[in-house]
Amino acid sequence: MKLGLVSLGCPKNLVDSETMLGLIHEQQITITNDPADADLIIVNTCGFIESAKEESINTILQMGAYKNTGSCKYLIITGCLGQRYAEELLDNIPEADAVIGTECYEDIAYVIQRVVQGERFIMLESRKKPEMALTAALRILTTPDYMAYLKIAEGCDNCCSYCIIPKLRGPYVSRPFEQLLSEAEALVAKGVKELIVVAQDTTRYGEDLYGKLRLPELLSELNKLEGLKWIRVMYCYPNNFTDDLIEAFANLEKVCKYVDLPLQHASDRLLGSMNRYDTKAEVESLLNKLRKRVPGITIRTTFIVGFPGETEADFQELKAFVKAQRFDNAGVFAYSQEEGTVAATLPEQVAEQVKEERFHELMALQAQISEELHQEMEEQILEVLVEGRDEENPELAFGRSYREAPDIDGSIFIENAGAVQAGAFIKVKILQGFTYEMVGERI
């Protein structure tokens, strides 16, 4: 049997997909990248916001069509959308043979066995307590061989009022410290040079399992791994960004001076309504500490515009905050009213047109700031991880420095790169800065 898998959504979902691929490979099932050639297709879905749900549904329907036009005999839906809408998916998509939830990844071989035997079913609870104990030797990486994600926890306890994730993924569960070190060692032994630490909230790591925050300690141990070049930390929440963690960013040479800090807004009233744990003053204090203690630090954030009750004054306060803080990168999202969340029931829902206008206005402001900051990088020399060649101009290579995370930030295009291969680190002098990219030359 040949199996194809489509992974949607965030890097945390991608780790789950890689885990399933490892388990499937153990069953002597051939894995193919061509869905038209697959006997069985798995779609690992995202159900976070409306646009992600639409993408997941469209992908499921596209893969289901291979039952008529390709070799596909079986279609399995997994992930957050499956957890959230299992019955609706099985009732309304006749091509689907099984829908399984976010606890059931380690049961995938059992699920496939039942589907092949002709069963059509929903499975939202694992047959055993999820151990998250799979080693990197078992997990099949789908990222380039020089980078990998290290998922340090599952679930979330923050319960932001706009977010459905705690209902889909359950409470926060840290993975055991030694298990993470073992997996990281195996990944580095495979040739991974950039390790990207992910969880719904990386800064909370260890609190549930050990009674204390252990991310700084984890980074310190990862920093000792021979052969590892970069450690990048994503999804840091401000309320648990301790002084010890700031010191880890300042002192550990392999930890990228890059902080991903989702802030969502600057109005204290709205932050309270969002059930966030920080005030604007506390966030400003943290940002000042980071910039003072970690020179050259890159700070990325995300904001929500059009949250219920957001007034024009609130939006102007957010704009003033963005202007003052000059973030290197910021993602902006128009609020999505998600059923099952507290925010969906709040009064004063903002009109779609107003959301759209505020989205474009804040994006334009951030684009201007990003371009100015990139222009300030001109003449500086950065170490760049080469990722490939430009399709239209193969003489031009592209890659990332410590300042750019894969898939969400821009690239650095490199002139005079020579015969350098993907996965190599080279020195690049920045020649021009643009809104989302920079251009430099190899030195």
Query: What is the β-pairing status of strands 153-154 and 173-174?
Result: antiparallel
What is the mean predicted confidence (pLDDT) over 342-366? 96
What pLDDT shows up at residue 392?
84
188 has pLDDT over 60 = yes
305-340: pLDDT as tens digits? 999 999 999 999 999 999 999 999 999 999 999 989
Domain 147-374 class in CATH = alpha beta
CATH topology of domain 2-123: Rossmann fold (3.40.50)
Least confident of 6-10, 287-291, 369-373: 6-10
Question: Quick check: 216 and 240 in contact, CB under 8 A?
Answer: no
Residue range 381-442, CATH number: 2.40.50.140
In this prediction the pTM is 0.93
Segments making up each domain of the chain, as ranges: 2-123, 147-374, 381-442
Angle between helices 312-325 and 352-376 (to 10 degrees): 10
133-156: pLDDT as tens digits? 444 457 899 999 999 999 999 999
127 has pLDDT over 80 = no
CA separation, residue 348 to residues 264, 306, 338, 343 (Å): 18, 10, 15, 10
* pLDDT band, very low/low/confident/very high, at 132 (cuts 50, 70, 90): very low
